[in-house]
Structure 1
């Protein structure tokens, strides 16, 4: 079923209006549900729709306001994995359709399975390619990589192979950059197709890739957890067989404002973790030493993506609540806004004018979670809300 922009906004108008009622107003009165909310942050609004060919999990926004979405190839039929969202909601393959075409013979020149991307300080787009043309199985040899794209020229400027950091069960998921005076690094999460995750640290000056925290409890899919989205348990439901639990190791990541800590969490896990970034690429640090430095920052809900602001507050894509949450440096976790359109809250993008954008990826509506029924509704929503701080 498809839904055009007019129908999407009509269908969700009542929900959007509800967020401006006294229960969520800025007058200082206590909300009816008793949940504390930060009055300096605005309600959520529809920023753009995306007629994407598959689930837009990733989002990156250029300085000039160009929107790019990343659509992992959960199956080979997805026509392109990286696209630009036009003002009318149409999504065009980027940089072109040929670059998005699956060709294992050209692993460095093609995009196979892009879950996320970010912009650097020169407004070049870096995308993460997991090298999975059919969503599962061993990555294509040479396929896992970072790709730097000049969006003005729609041209690839650099490719950084990640082969040294992946294993046959890898499923690379999220990316953060730390580029500044005397440093050029990238950090990548591997959630693992088997739930056994890890973190990849990349030295962008020489291309060195180090796989860290593999097998550690903080990067592993937590057992015995049930994720509820839209009031239903998210389980693998295929054919007539019994439902199987979803697995997902290290997933969302974010850098602290001073770039000294990396925040991260498993997809299937309710706790937030942090590790010293300097240790990840330290040639003298053993894996055991890195693991010993992991901090358990406590409960934060079941999340997808993470982001940080200049005040070192961590934003949380609270998938079970169709909500945006935030963890303050003192450990306080609060809900900033909820919206019924925020189905499978996934990736954040914070812009210089203090808008926080987030994708509603609808992953829980995919056929494999619904006994073969595709319940996704297009166009997909990209929502936004005002925040009271600059991006980290």
Structure 2
């Protein structure tokens, strides 16, 4: 059932126990489907409209606290974006978070202001972490000192800690997505660097001492794949300036997800159809060479054109199928099933799984931005956040 236009999702978010999935929604995948093959024996399930976020700019990132607080991230694709992080109110309005002042980009004081936040996540202690790429104008070299992780205190709505990422970035970096793993005495963060051209990379961060390591730069798994074009809303996504020829979109390492035990990192380029994995231990191992880390990368096969990724407690990887306005998941044995689709899911971007087994995803409308449409802004706010029931808990 589709919810009313401004109906907030908090009704289900506060449940402490998981809600069972109906037999029809949890139907087993068809027999005979092997690794890399999609389940086709049943149609994709319907999605609910959970929330319409009246955000002032392209709403890509999403993070939901256990108490039901909803946060969206709006990358500064250009300097005109008024805020880069906001909290969504019950009526769908979006207010700057943690404050208007913190959202005011200040290149002279980059550690104290949010410059360009594409994504954020909650850790197991329900602490919000934001990824700041340090790009107040959306492109060019990151502002010195601007690339960082920001830990927020939700009780006091203030910045608690800043972890600089300067040692792991390059002049062409464009940090994109984040996972934080704090448990059993370890505290790590993993970040994708999409890059501003063909090259991407993975950053691994030891949150205990702040050490940052850049890995897999130049590796095929983090590069934008050549001769590929993404189609969204039945149209090729190309950079279309107001004057001059159109150009293909490029994008390296983009979506990222962690296995439930935190020992395996899944990732994929924005422009690329294959899913990859690497052991997290190798990323931060000071004795492991770049070549040794690269040798441990697994090519997990075809997965479609995706943006964000996530995992559940059964180690299934969820895929934003941007070309099909759909959501799929990859099983550990390699089978892929499409579990939901919706015409409103335009440029499916960021997932979030709540403890009551709802899978949320943002419809970011990135393909409708001016840079892809000859300067015309075809976005239609408010931005939809849709959801579908699943049969598993979050991975973390």
Matched, 1:300 2:315: no
User: 1:105 offset after TM fit, Å?
Assistant: 1.1
Partners of 1:100 and 1:229 in 2: CA distance:
31
| Structure 2 counterpart of 1:280, from 278, 283, 308 | 283
Q: Indicate the residue corresponding to 2:51 in structure 1.
A: 48
Give the alignment partner of residue 102 of structure 2, picking from 86, 99, 104: 99
Contact between 2:361 and 2:386, CA under 8 Å: does it hold in 1? yes
Give the drift of 1:260. 1.1
- Summarize deviations over 1:44-76 as a string: whole Å, max 9, x none: 100111010111110000010010000000011
Does structure 1 retain, via aligned residues, the 8 Å contact 2:191–2:202?
yes
How does 1:292-331 map onto structure 2 within 5 Å?
Answer: 292-331=295-334
Contact in 2 for aligned 1:43/1:386 (Cα 8 Å): no
Aligned residue in 2 for 1:206:
209
> 2: distance between equivalents of 1:66 and 1:186?
22
Match of 1:221 in 2: 224
Partner in structure 2 of residue 244 of structure 1: 247
Separation of aligned partners in 1, 2:171 and 2:65: 34
Q: In the aligned structure 1, how far is the partner of 2:26 from the partner of 2:212?
A: 51
Give the superposed CA RMSD: 2.1
1:97 CA drift (Å) = 0.6
Q: CA deviation at 1:28?
A: 7.3
Are residues 1:160 and 2:158 paired? Answer: no
Counterpart for residue 36 of structure 1: 41
* Matched residue, 1:385: 388
Alignment partners' CA distance in 1, 2:258 and 2:221: 16
Distance 2:220 2:185 in 1: 32
Distance 1:154 1:26 in 2: 38
Q: 1:88 to 1:292 in 2, by over 3 A?
A: same
Give CA-to-partner distance per residue, 1:138-157, whole Å, 9 cap, x none.
00000000000011210111
C-alpha change, 1:28 and 1:6, in structure 2 (3 Å) is: closer
How big is the shift at 1:30? 12
- Secondary structure (helix, strand or coil) at the match of 2:102 reads helix
Distance 1:385 1:7, change over 3 A: closer
* SS of alignment partner, residue 188 of structure 1: strand
TM-score by length of 2: 0.90
After superposing on structure 2, the runs of 4+ consecutive aligned residues of structure 1 that deviate more than 4 Å are 5-8, 25-31
Structure 1, unaligned runs of 5 or more = 9-24
**Is the Cα–Cα contact under 8 Å of residues 322 and 340 in structure 1 kept in the other structure?**
yes
Q: Secondary structure at the match of 1:148?
A: strand
Could you tell me how far apart the structure 1 residues matched to 2:25 and 2:99 are? Answer: 45
C-alpha displacement of 1:191: 0.3
Q: Name 1:121's counterpart in structure 2.
A: 124
TM norm structure 1 = 0.91
Give the aligned length. 370
Deviation, structure 1 residue 328: 0.5
Distance of aligned partners of 1:108 and 1:243 in 2 relative to their CA distance in 1, 3 Å threshold: same
Residues 323, 353 of structure 1: CA spacing in aligned structure 2 closer, same or farther, 3 A cutoff? same
